[in-house]
Chains A and B, each alone.
Chain A
């Protein structure tokens, strides 16, 4: 019993070793995760569990392992964000408008994970169409963060309840919660403005958004096509490196997927950062920023310096304009992408008299509040008379944001170190009910990276006074994911790893 449970404590690298050494089978490993998922339904991390599929895939892995033909991720059980289309398995982007959608095709990223031998445990909760920073906009309800504030006993049946259940961040909240709670060995996620890095930061996990074009977007439900990128959320830097190698690569079906070789990212984990120059941008020091965020940042600087990196102060002057520009570009692209949900070809249909009435009622009923709001803002900024004032202006500011980074990199900076989020996880229902902008501010440190198309990684670096994880972010040059893994590994070795106690197990 305890032996089977212990298997979920293994990282992907450790599980790979155990499977190769025949210490346990893929069937045993998958079964341990399926049992853990069953006991953790209170977290609401999975929106659909696929145990039969998982066991069938594990059986194939056991055959491969026995015959000595193991693939790179042979038998590794993964969770898949519900934004990825999975053939024959309901895929909804956590929206009612895609209610019973069963894709007849598989996304490129997930097909590459299965090609490499991984096992699918199920689909993970997320914000509706990935629009959110707390997982509260999901049609399947919020995900509960496995982390609780010190002294909180929320979620248990032990006398007086203290504290509030916390959000896991978003939009990849189910992915981050499932990885932190050991309900999968690793998970796929997507990031349009911070949706991999912010939930990773809120749950003590590692999340990397690769360079735009590194992973194919084919078969991933589109939000904002010039910003969307897939990436992994994992227990540690090595696991994220292992997963990204399988997820990344060129794809004829995505014209923006880039045709450059995918390196063996694990080889980057040398523990060596001597000779690297790390930039510290002064614009990320916000007025009223929590002192513990500043302290964490200073600690990160000290760790990299001790390991031999050169630290330089830099300026990225257009940083403060990234978030407002994002809230023009992203809704504009979303309003265009989501025009396809019309009640004709798939998903929900509401009757409404003539065809326009049918469209309007279908979309009013099928989309949640946040999605409707973003479609409308997007429609407004693209409408006649406003296009130049809003959309073209925002795209020009995007050029300036990217130029800031280009200049820093040209001056010799290899990576930029910043805090990942302005705070630790907050309570469910605590933010954004009166003013949507309050919620949007969560992405203030992450959104610049999407606007410039750069790779960014969130690395857990400590706990705050409330006992909750905090993370640092490293931003790299285009296609320099290896540098991020190398620096992230050094921070991880210094900071250690962070695991929440398993209070949700009955």
Chain B
């Protein structure tokens, strides 16, 4: 399988990565090189094989349903590029 330039632009959009038109051809050839490389997996018969879900067979751990952290709004927003009174600021999303 290989991707065309429209697919590259669509994937960039899905990835939320801005892409200029002149970056498309190079990226297209790199993505196609990777897809060509993984093509060899088609040689493998995987009929009846379960997909891997956990390399170490173990039951998912559970913890007690109690509050373990909180009251740290100052710490949580400390690294925000824009914040006000412990709220994250973003461009307007609702008119």
Contact = CB atoms under 8 A, between A and B. Distances in A.
Whether chain B is bound by chain A comes out as yes
Contacts of A104: 72, 75-76, 78-79
Contact of A383 (B14, B49, B79): B14
Interface residues of A, number: 72
A377 B3 CA distance: 11
Interface string B18-43: 11000000010011011101111101
Contacts of B52: 226, 395-396, 398-399, 402
Q: Is the interface of B mostly helix, strand, loop or mixed?
A: loop
Interface residues on B, range: 35 or more
Interface string A316-359: 00101100110110000001000100111111110011111111
B84 interface: no
B19 to A, nearest CB: 7
A437 B46 contact: no
Interface stretch (A20-28, A264-272, A368-376): A368-376
B33 A436 contact: yes
Contact of B40 (A324, A355, A375): A324
Contacts of A328: 38, 41
Interface string B39-60: 1110110100111111110101
A155 to B, nearest CB: 31
Q: Which secondary structure characterizes the binding site on chain A? A: helix
Contacts of A392: 51
A224 to B, nearest CB: 12
B67 interface: no
A364 B18 contact: yes
Contacts of A395: 51-53
A453 interface: yes
A363 interface: yes
A397 B41 contact: yes
Contact of B41 (A325, A352, A375, A399): A325
A436 B33 CA distance: 8
Given A354-B93, A436-B30, 15 more contacts: A102-B79, A212-B55, A213-B56, A256-B56, A318-B44, A335-B15, A345-B77, A345-B79, A354-B92, A357-B91, A363-B18, A364-B18, A379-B11, A380-B7, A402-B52
